[in-house]
Chain A
Amino acid sequence: MVIHFGEIEVTDKKYPKVLKEAFKNLIDSQGPKKLYYKGDFSDEIFKNCLSVVGSRHLTTYGRKATEQIVSQVALAGVTIVSGFMYGGDEAAHSATVKCGGRTIAVMPCGINRIHPENQVKLYNEILEKKGLIISEYEGSAQPQNYTYVQRDRIVAGLSKAVLVTEAALNSGSLITASYAKKFGKKIFALPGQITSEVSKGTLKLIKEGAEPVTDAKDILDFYKIKPSDAVNVSNNFSKQVATKAIFGGKGLEQKIFEQLKREPMKVDDMARLFFIPIAELGTILTMMQLKGFINQEGDKYFIN
Chain B
Amino acid sequence: MLIKVPSIANLGLETIKVDVEVNVASRGLPGFDIVGLADKAVAESKDRVRTAILSSEIDFPQKKITVNMAPADIPKEGSMYDLPIAVGILSNVINFTIPEKSLFLGELSLDGSLRHTKGAFLMALFAKEFGFENLFVPKDSANEAACIKGLKVFPIESLVQICEHMTGQKDIKPVVYRKSEEYFYSKAEFDMKEVLGQEQAKRAMEIAAAGGHNIIMVGSPGSGKTMLARALPGILPPLNEVESLEVTKIFSASGDIPPGGSLITQRQFRSPHHTASLAGLVGGGSKPQPGEISLAHRGVLFLDEFNEFPRSIMEAMRQPLEDGYLTISRAKQRVIYPADFMLVASANPCPCGYAMHPKKACTCSQNQIAKYQKRISGPILDRIDLHIGVMPVDIEEFKGNQQASQFLEPSDKIRDRVASARKLQQARFADEGIHCNSQMKNSDIKKYCKLLPEVEQILRQASLKFNLSARSYMKVIKVARTISDLDNSKEIMANHMAEALQYKPRTYESA
Contact status B511-A290, CB under 8 Å: no
> A238 in the interface, Cβ–Cβ < 8 Å?
no
> A298 in the interface, Cβ–Cβ < 8 Å?
yes
- Contact mask A269-287 → B, CB, 8 Å, 1/0? 0011001001110111111
**Nearest CB on B from A88, distance (A):** 12
Contact status A286-B403, CB under 8 Å: no
> A154 in the interface, Cβ–Cβ < 8 Å?
no
Contact status B407-A271, CB under 8 Å: yes
Contact status A59-B511, CB under 8 Å: yes
A/B pair count, beta carbons within 8 Å: 90
> A25 in the interface, Cβ–Cβ < 8 Å?
no
**Contact A297:B407 (CB < 8 A) given known A195-B359, A279-B499, A286-B462:** no
Identity of the chain B residue whose Cβ is nearest the Cβ of A62 in the assembled complex: B510
Contact status A290-B203, CB under 8 Å: no
Identity of the chain A residue whose Cβ is nearest the Cβ of B203 in the assembled complex: A278
> B26 in the interface, Cβ–Cβ < 8 Å?
no
Contact status A282-B502, CB under 8 Å: yes
**Nearest CB on A from B500, distance (A):** 8
Which of B403, B498, B509 has a CB less than 8 Å from the CB of A287?
A: B498
Contact status B483-A56, CB under 8 Å: no
Contact status A290-B462, CB under 8 Å: yes
> B360 in the interface, Cβ–Cβ < 8 Å?
yes
Bound state CA distance, A198 and B200, in angstroms? 28
**Nearest CB on A from B210, distance (A):** 12
> A129 in the interface, Cβ–Cβ < 8 Å?
no
Which residues in B have their C-beta under 8 angstroms from that of A286? 462, 498-499, 501-502
Bound state CA distance, A80 and B502, in angstroms? 38
> B93 in the interface, Cβ–Cβ < 8 Å?
no
- Contact mask B193-214 → A, CB, 8 Å, 1/0? 0000111111100000000000
Q: Which residues of chain B in 453-503 are interfacial with respect to chain A, using CB atoms and an 8 Å cutoff? A: 458, 461-462, 465, 483, 495, 498-499, 501-502
Which of B199, B366, B404 has a CB less than 8 Å from the CB of A86?
A: B366
- Contact mask A55-74 → B, CB, 8 Å, 1/0? 01111100000000000000
> A44 in the interface, Cβ–Cβ < 8 Å?
no
Bound state CA distance, A7 and B406, in angstroms? 69
Q: Which residues of chain B in 353-376 are interfacial with respect to chain A, using CB atoms and an 8 Å cutoff? A: 356, 359-362, 365-367, 370
Contact status A299-B501, CB under 8 Å: no
Which residues in B have their C-beta under 8 angstroms from that of A296? 506
Identity of the chain B residue whose Cβ is nearest the Cβ of A273 in the assembled complex: B403
**Nearest CB on A from B417, distance (A):** 11
Which of B367, B465, B510 has a CB less than 8 Å from the CB of A59?
A: B510
Which of B365, B403, B511 has a CB less than 8 Å from the CB of A298?
A: B511
Q: Which residues of chain A in 247-275 are interfacial with respect to chain B, using CB atoms and an 8 Å cutoff? A: 266-268, 271-272, 275
**Nearest CB on B from A80, distance (A):** 21
Contact status A279-B483, CB under 8 Å: yes
Identity of the chain A residue whose Cβ is nearest the Cβ of B394 in the assembled complex: A269
Contact status A268-B367, CB under 8 Å: no
Which residues in A have their C-beta under 8 angstroms from that of B397? 272
Contact status A282-B367, CB under 8 Å: no
Identity of the chain A residue whose Cβ is nearest the Cβ of B357 in the assembled complex: A197
Bound state CA distance, A64 and B365, in angstroms? 21
> A87 in the interface, Cβ–Cβ < 8 Å?
yes
> B65 in the interface, Cβ–Cβ < 8 Å?
no
Contact status A289-B465, CB under 8 Å: yes
> A168 in the interface, Cβ–Cβ < 8 Å?
yes
Contact status A267-B200, CB under 8 Å: yes
Q: Which one of B197, B203, B483, B508 has the highest number of Cβ atoms from chain A below 10 Å of its Cβ? A: B203
Contact status B389-A299, CB under 8 Å: yes
Which residues in A have their C-beta under 8 angstroms from that of B462? 286, 290
Contact status B510-A283, CB under 8 Å: no
Q: Which residues of chain B in 173-207 are interfacial with respect to chain A, using CB atoms and an 8 Å cutoff? A: 197-203
> B147 in the interface, Cβ–Cβ < 8 Å?
no
> B391 in the interface, Cβ–Cβ < 8 Å?
yes
Which of B199, B360, B498 has a CB less than 8 Å from the CB of A271?
A: B199
**Contact A283:B359 (CB < 8 A) given known A56-B366, A275-B403, A299-B511:** no
Identity of the chain A residue whose Cβ is nearest the Cβ of B388 in the assembled complex: A299
> A118 in the interface, Cβ–Cβ < 8 Å?
yes
Q: Which residues of chain B in 425-476 are interfacial with respect to chain A, using CB atoms and an 8 Å cutoff? A: 458, 461-462, 465
Contact status B501-A297, CB under 8 Å: no
**Nearest CB on A from B229, distance (A):** 17
Which residues in B have their C-beta under 8 angstroms from that of A283? 495, 498-499
Contact status A278-B200, CB under 8 Å: yes
Bound state CA distance, A197 and B501, in angstroms? 32
> A116 in the interface, Cβ–Cβ < 8 Å?
yes
> A47 in the interface, Cβ–Cβ < 8 Å?
no
Q: Which one of A195, A275, A287 has the highest number of Cβ atoms from chain B below 10 Å of its Cβ? A: A287
Contact status A285-B361, CB under 8 Å: no
Contact status B389-A298, CB under 8 Å: yes
**Nearest CB on A from B3, distance (A):** 68
Identity of the chain B residue whose Cβ is nearest the Cβ of A85 in the assembled complex: B366
Bound state CA distance, A278 and B365, in angstroms? 34
Identity of the chain A residue whose Cβ is nearest the Cβ of B503 in the assembled complex: A282
Bound state CA distance, A168 and B361, in angstroms? 9
Bound state CA distance, A27 and B367, in angstroms? 38
**Contact A272:B391 (CB < 8 A) given known A282-B200, A286-B502:** no
Identity of the chain A residue whose Cβ is nearest the Cβ of B367 in the assembled complex: A116
Which residues in A have their C-beta under 8 angstroms from that of B458? 287, 290
**Nearest CB on B from A281, distance (A):** 8
Contact status B361-A198, CB under 8 Å: yes
Contact status A298-B509, CB under 8 Å: yes
- Contact mask A293-304 → B, CB, 8 Å, 1/0? 000111110000
Q: Which one of A58, A86, A286 has the highest number of Cβ atoms from chain B below 10 Å of its Cβ? A: A286
Which residues in B have their C-beta under 8 angstroms from that of A57? 361-362, 510
Bound state CA distance, A54 and B94, in angstroms? 92
**Nearest CB on A from B364, distance (A):** 9
**Contact A300:B511 (CB < 8 A) given known A268-B198, A290-B461:** yes
Which residues in A have their C-beta under 8 angstroms from that of B370? 118
Which of B367, B391, B465 has a CB less than 8 Å from the CB of A290?
A: B465
Which residues in A have their C-beta under 8 angstroms from that of B509? 60, 297-298
Identity of the chain B residue whose Cβ is nearest the Cβ of A287 in the assembled complex: B498
Complex A-B: 29 CB contacts under 8 Å: A56-B365, A58-B510, A59-B510, A59-B511, A60-B510, A116-B367, A195-B359, A197-B359, A198-B361, A266-B391, A267-B199, A267-B502, A271-B200, A272-B197, A272-B199, A272-B407, A278-B199, A278-B203, A280-B495, A282-B203, A285-B502, A286-B499, A286-B502, A290-B462, A290-B465, A290-B498, A296-B506, A298-B356, A300-B511
Top 9 nearest A-B pairs (CB, nearest first) are A197-B361, A286-B498, A282-B502, A278-B199, A283-B498, A283-B495, A282-B499, A299-B389, A286-B501
Q: Could you list 12 further interchain pairs (A-B, Cβ under 8 angstroms) beyond the known A283-B499, A286-B462?
A: A59-B510, A168-B361, A197-B360, A197-B361, A268-B199, A275-B403, A282-B203, A282-B502, A283-B495, A286-B501, A299-B389, A299-B511
